[in-house]
Amino acid sequence: MAKSQVFKKGRGEASFNMTPMIDVTFQLIIFFIIAGQIASESLAKLIPPKPYESVSQEADKQIPNRVIVNILSRDPDRKSNDRGLSGQASEYKIGSTSFDVGDTEELAEVLGIRRDRAEAAGYEDFFVEIRAHHTVFYDQIEPVMLAAAKAKIPKMSITARMQTFEMDE
Amino acid sequence: MARSTKTIPGDETIHHISPRKKREAPKPKMQPPMTPMIDVTFQLLLFFLLTMTFREAEGIIPGTLPGGPVSGVDVVDLEKIEISLRPAGEGCLYEIKGLNVGINSPAELYARLKARQAAIGSAEAPVVIKPAPDIGWEFVVEAFNQAMRAEFKNIGFATSS
């Protein structure tokens, strides 16, 4: 028997077009990767100290009222097994801007600009946050403190790992 | 010969099935192509799992900068507590000025600071941390943390020069 001319194609198959969805997913992933990088720009990759019974508290999420100065080590993983090398700072970093170690003048200038900008935006309690790798020597960090004092920023806070429920011994 | 009737259990009525109905094509199954999506999802999952690093929770300990007075309070009336830090091998030796005892554990430093606070009778006494130039930052933060933990109100840093 001959097939009907009316229903010869049969019923249409329902299928989802996945291409736009995958396109959008990729767009979102790229967005989050880039946004994540921008957000973590102020926090350089380093290991801050973990004091015994740490009293450090979660910082205010507001960035305009503080400037984070990252102090990185020349040998953060102590691969050279040289205490002196891991104690040397490789650079100071504010966001993506790098400064030479001990360059108090330039650092003070930038800190002053940030302070003025924060004051103009109405933030009164502006402070500098020192975020240094745990192995770096004090004499490498001291210029940052002096630069902040020079920029007339009286307040300072230190980044430390927070107390967790695990044993910190 | 094909049957043109249908029997339903419990129903004595004879149901007729038309030849057109018998010829009707089976309904197509709705099956979206999931394979590419799953492929991509797994690729992404694997990528994020391999590249992800956990970051420990960080916080801040508020302090004052060196160079100026330790605080706005009258420091003349209160005895200053000076904590010196010097390297001892891979570790650090803490010394509280006037005690002449080497302290090598944070817990002991805390206990000594608490005892000194009780002796002075005030938490307003200025605490000055005086690290040696080649002392690791972790030990400086440790001293600072213990002073904060002992609830001292005025903690500052001395310049190494």
Domains of chain B: 81-157 (3.30.420.270)
CB contact under 8 Å between A142 and B25, yes or no, is no
Measured between beta carbons, which residues in chain B are less than 8 angstroms from residue A141? 137, 140
Measured between beta carbons, which residues in chain B are less than 8 angstroms from residue A29? 44
d(CA B18, CA A104): 96
Q: What percent of chain B has pLDDT over 90?
A: 28
Choice between A16 and B109, residue whose per-residue pLDDT is larger: B109
Measured between beta carbons, which residues in chain B are less than 8 angstroms from residue A159? 58-60
Whether residue A86 is contained in a domain is answered as yes
Given a cut of 70, whether residue B124 has pLDDT beyond it is yes
Say how many CA atoms lie within 13 Å of A162 toward its Cβ: 11
Beta strands B102-103 and B91-96: pairing type? antiparallel
d(CA A9, CA A74): 72
Which of B60, B61, B159 is the best substitution to test chain A (most A C-beta atoms within 10 A)? B60
CATH number, domain with residue A153:
3.30.420.270
Local confidence pLDDT in tens for the 169 residues of chain A: 555 555 556 666 677 777 777 777 778 777 777 766 666 667 778 888 989 988 888 876 666 788 899 999 999 888 888 888 989 999 999 988 889 998 889 999 999 998 898 888 888 788 899 999 999 999 999 999 989 988 988 888 898 888 765 544 4
Measured between beta carbons, which residues in chain B are less than 8 angstroms from residue A107? none
pTM of the full structure: 0.71
Asked which of A62-66, B102-106, B146-150 is least confident by mean pLDDT, the reply is A62-66
Of the partner residues A13, A51, A138, the one whose CB lies closest to the CB of residue B133: A138
Whether residue A16 is contained in a domain is answered as no
Give me the domain span that covers residue A78. Answer: 66-158
Average pLDDT, chain B: 80
Measured between beta carbons, which residues in chain B are less than 8 angstroms from residue A158? 60-61, 63, 141, 144
pLDDT digits (tens, 9 = 90+) for A15-42: 777 777 777 777 877 777 776 666 666 7
Q: Please choose, from the candidates B61, B136, B64, the residue with its C-alpha nearest in 3D space to the C-alpha of residue B93.
A: B136
CA closest to A139 among chain B residues: B133
Whether residue A77 is contained in a domain is answered as yes
What would the two tokens of residue A138 be? 């004090």
Whether residue A146 is contained in a domain is answered as yes
CA closest to A12 among chain B residues: B28
Where would I find the beta strands (DSSP E) of chain A? 66-73, 89-94, 97-99, 127-132, 155-161
Number of domains in chain A: 1
d(CA B62, CA B152): 12
Average pLDDT rounded to a whole number, residues B62-89 = 68
Whether residue A107 is contained in a domain is answered as yes
> What is the nearest CA distance from B9 to chain A, expressed in angstroms?
32
d(CA B159, CA B54): 35
